[in-house]
Amino acid sequence: MTDAMFAAPGQFWRGNLHTHSNRSDGVLTPEEVCRRYAAEGYDFLSLTDHFVGAFDYPITDTRAFRTNRFTTIPGAELHSGAMQNGELWHILAVGLPDDFAPSNTPSFLPVPDQETGPEIAARARAAGAFVAIAHPEWSGLTMDDARSIEAAHAVEVYNHGCATGCDRPHGFYTLDQLLTEGRRLTLCATDDAHFSEPDHFGGWVMVKAQENDPDALVDALKAGHHYSTQGPAFHNVVWEDGQVIVESSAVATVIVQGKGSAAVAVHGDSMTRTAVPLGRCAGSPFLRVTLIDRAGKRAWTNPVFPG
């Protein structure tokens, strides 16, 4: 069975789903942020400024910065209610309408009578957005917190800004626990760039769609037709009885992960077509693949759900 992402029509488009400008706490203007991503070869960008009252609840309008080869998706990083550690929720919403109603979030501190995190996430999904649980490790997210976001499409599993700024970039534990509990979620890698430190161009998604159009890209994200990467590329993934065949850019390691401690790794030199026996992963309710190149850069597929 060819992975649905590769069987889908279209081509892959490179994009970043989590970025900030000086409309909130970023350093650069929206125009300059878009210019830099386009100059670095990205096909699209979602500028997701912080949706709080201190910044006048921005859904930053980037339509003027689209070109015939670069597009933008409206979005925001939503905040409302307190997590179990008492800090404000962070919810990534890509594809929000311009008229998405503000929350009662005057600043980065929780206040009484706010929507909860699950409530604002559900409202964003109902409005048409692709919704992701942002930087779980950075946030100190508990599993009870994570379970409560039933509207999430995805978990942000790598956040480059959190890697460079505090060495808390990951969300894999959160993702895998939710998958083990039966949730069907995808994953995404992002920059969370503010351009105040080297927090940019370090993690992105490759989205399979028929055109580089905001609606088409959001639909493909919701369908799971994307993978996440720091550099390595997937070219095809075929699931067979007892093994998976992975075609990729040159890598040193291919790993299949499943439920609990189940994992199988194949190591080599300049591997571009790798057969990985499922071994201990056989029978797992979910499976996903990681690539690691010689420089230690990684790429990750979304999970599949055998049977």
The string of DSSP letters for 63-93 reads: GGG--SS-EEEEEEEE--SB-TTSPBP-EEE
What confidence score (pLDDT) does residue 281 get? 96
**Domain match, 99 and 186 both:** yes
At residue 3, does pLDDT exceed 90?
no
Q: What are phi and psi of 257, to 5 degrees?
A: -115, 145
Nearest alpha-carbon partner for 225 in 12, 14, 18, 29: 12
Looking at the predicted structure, is the pLDDT value of residue 227 above 90? yes
| 98 burial via Cβ count (<10 Å: 0-12, 13-18, 19+) | exposed
pLDDT at 98 over 90: yes
Reported in sequence order, the residue ranges of the chain that DSSP labels E, i.e. its strands, are 11-16, 44-47, 50-51, 71-78, 91-94, 130-133, 154-159, 186-190, 204-209, 226-229, 234-240, 243-257, 263-277, 288-292, 298-300
pLDDT for position 2 = 81
Are residues 51 and 79 in contact, defined by beta-carbon separation less than 8 angstroms?
yes
Name the band, by pLDDT with cuts 50, 70 and 90, for residue 21.
very high
Give me the mean pLDDT over the 27-44 stretch: 98
Confidence band of 60 (pLDDT split at 50, 70, 90): very high
Percent of the chain clearing pLDDT 70 (strictly above): 100
Q: Answer for the pair 190, 18: CB distance below 8 angstroms, yes or no.
A: yes
252 and 134 fall within a common domain: no
pLDDT, tens digit (0-9, with 9 covering 90-100), for 168-178:
999 999 999 99
- Give the pTM: 0.97
Q: What is the largest CA-CA distance in the chain?
A: 57
pLDDT of residue 241: 87
pLDDT of residue 63: 98
Residue 97 within any structural domain of the chain: yes
Please report, rounded to a whole number, the percentage of residues in the chain having pLDDT higher than 90. 98
What's the number of domains the chain is made of?
2
165 assigned to some structural domain: yes
Q: Give yes or no: residues 114 and 203 share one domain.
A: yes
Last residue of one domain, picked from the residues 175, 200, 228: 228
User: Do 258 and 220 share a structural domain?
Assistant: no
**Is pLDDT of 51 > 90?**
yes
Residue 35 burial by Cβ neighbours in a 10 Å radius (0-12, 13-18, 19+): middle
For residue 146, pLDDT beyond 90: yes
Last residue of a domain, which of 228, 258, 292? 228
**Structural domain contains residue 202:** yes
* Residue 64 located in a structural domain: yes
**Residue 307: pLDDT band by 50, 70, 90 thresholds?**
confident
**245 and 151 in a common domain:** no
Helix (H, G, I), strand (E, B) or coil at 202: coil
Residue 190's domain is classified under what CATH number? 3.20.20.140
The pLDDT value given to residue 301: 98
Q: For residue 306, is it within any domain?
A: no
Of 243 and 1, the structure prediction assigns the larger pLDDT to 243
In a domain, 246, yes or no: yes
Q: Which two tokens stand for residue 276?
A: 């990985």
Which residues, other chains included, contact 73 with Cβ-Cβ below 8 Å and sequence gap of 6+?
Answer: 15, 17, 44, 45, 46, 94, 95, 214, 217, 218
Give yes or no: residues 156 and 243 share one domain.
Answer: no
* 307 part of a folded domain: no
Q: Phi first, then psi: give them for residue 135, nearest 5 degrees.
A: 25, 70
Mean pLDDT along residues 239-255: 96
- Same domain? 42 vs 107: yes
Query: Does pLDDT of 55 surpass 90?
Result: yes
Both 193 and 274 in a single domain? Answer: no
Q: Of 228, 251, 272, which residue constitutes the final position of a domain?
A: 228
For residues 224 and 239, membership in a common domain is answered with no
Is residue 166 scored above 80 in pLDDT?
yes
Does residue 181 sit in the same domain as residue 77?
A: yes
Structural domain of 182: 4-228
Element (H, E) at 302: none
Phi, psi of 121 (to 5 degrees): -65, -40
Q: Is the pLDDT of residue 254 over 90?
A: yes
Give the contacts of 167 (CB within 8 A, at least 6 positions apart).
none
**What pLDDT, in 10s, does the model give residues 103-141?**
999 999 999 999 999 999 999 999 999 999 999 999 999
Say if 124 falls within a structural domain.
Answer: yes
Instruction: Give the number of other Cβ atoms within 10 Å of residue 161's Cβ.
Output: 26
Q: What is the pLDDT of residues 81-97, one digit of tens each?
A: 999 999 999 999 999 99
